[in-house]
Amino acid sequence: MSKKKTLATAIMSVISVLYVTPIFIVLMNSFKLKTAISSSPFSLPDKTNFVGLENYTRGMTFGEYPFYKSVVFSLIITVLSTVGILLFTSMAAWYIVRVDNRLCRGIYYLCVFSMIVPFQMVMYTLSKTADTLSLNNPLGIAVVYLGFGAGLAVFMFSGFVKSIPLEIEEAANIDGCGPIRTFFGIVLPIMKPTLISVCILETMWIWNDYLLPYLVLDIKKYRTIPIHIQYLNGSYGQVDLGAIMALIVLSIIPIVIFYFTCQKHIIKGIMAGAVKG
């Protein structure tokens, strides 16, 4: 048994190193001259190509569109979208499980089916619909994210709700609690593990997403961090690799801190959501 554990640890360590290597390469190149990044991307910085924080300062001031605006828009979109997904899908999942009629089961299966539909199938019609309905702004795109994030969230919340004893809600009903008070006062606090897990997964997806904001938002007015990095081009199509590497590092730091702060809840929440009632 110990040999199996040792072998499994060795294999997982190698996999971990493979996953961390690209991040290390980006971090390493963010302190090098842009010419050195092109000529020797896998070499460590030395006295001939080390530039300190020059790439970071240039990246944050590069171009006509300020980087801080992209950070603000990314933060607004991520917070609004995640809060909307958590609130509406948790309520929907609770209603679907507790009512459990044909309509609710149909809605549940539609949500599950939406997880397997490729985004490329709907991206062109989505872009046209977003423009028609004036959803091409940070508030409107939160509605779009709610639609795309509802499938996984409803699936996980429904699995967890099935594990909540119905007697708890019946006791609250006897004490005079209505449906809204029962949900927010009894059910929602019990759903905390799955709530945190869904929050982490959706936050990481929305913060790092490039394609959906690019298709939906008016990028002349609103740019998220991934879009901002994409537009770090100089004259005649030249790309400032040093500034790009620096801004990639800055975009990674918040989500990494958020993930490590909440990672202990992920497995707990997923296992809780996998309970079959």
Other Cβ atoms less than 10 A from the Cβ of 22: the count is: 9
Longest CA pairwise span in the chain (Å): 75
Q: How far is CA 244 from CA 33, 82, 123, 209, 226, in A?
A: 12, 27, 27, 17, 10
What pLDDT is recorded for position 131?
Answer: 86
Res 269: pLDDT: 56
Whole-number pLDDT of residue 94: 93
Q: Are 269 and 193 in contact (CB under 8 A)?
A: yes
CB 73 within 8 A of CB 224: yes
Predicted pLDDT at 168? 86
Strand, helix or coil at 50?
strand
Nearest to 226 by CA among 245, 194, 248: 248
* Burial of residue 5, with CB atoms counted within 10 A of its CB: 0-12 exposed, 13-18 middle, 19 or more buried: exposed
CB 246 within 8 A of CB 55: yes
Contact by Cβ (8 Å): 140, 127? no
| CB-count burial class (<10 Å; 0-12, 13-18, 19+) for 185 | exposed
Q: Residue 230 and residue 150: Cα distance in Å, rounded?
A: 28
pLDDT reported for residue 270: 57
Q: Which two tokens stand for residue 50?
A: 């080390």
Q: Give 87's Cβ-side CA count (13 Å radius).
A: 9
- Which residues lie closer than 8 Å to 133 by C-beta, 6 or more apart? 140
Residue 10 and residue 77: Cα distance in Å, rounded? 40
* CA angle, residues 103, 104, 105, in degrees to nearest 5: 95
Running along the chain, 277 residues long, what does each successive block of 10 average in pLDDT?
80 89 89 84 84 84 82 94 94 91 91 85 84 89 91 90 86 85 89 88 91 88 89 64 88 87 68 49
What pLDDT, on a 0 to 100 scale, did the predictor assign at position 277?
43
Closest to 274 in 3D by CA, of 109, 120, 155, 114:
155
The predicted structure's pLDDT at residue 206: 94
Please state the pTM of the whole predicted model. 0.85
User: Which CATH architecture is the domain 64-241+251-273 placed in?
Assistant: Orthogonal Bundle (1.10)
Which tokens belong to 254?
Answer: 């918040």
- What was the pLDDT predicted at 235? 45
**Domain ranges for the chain:** 2-60, 64-241+251-273
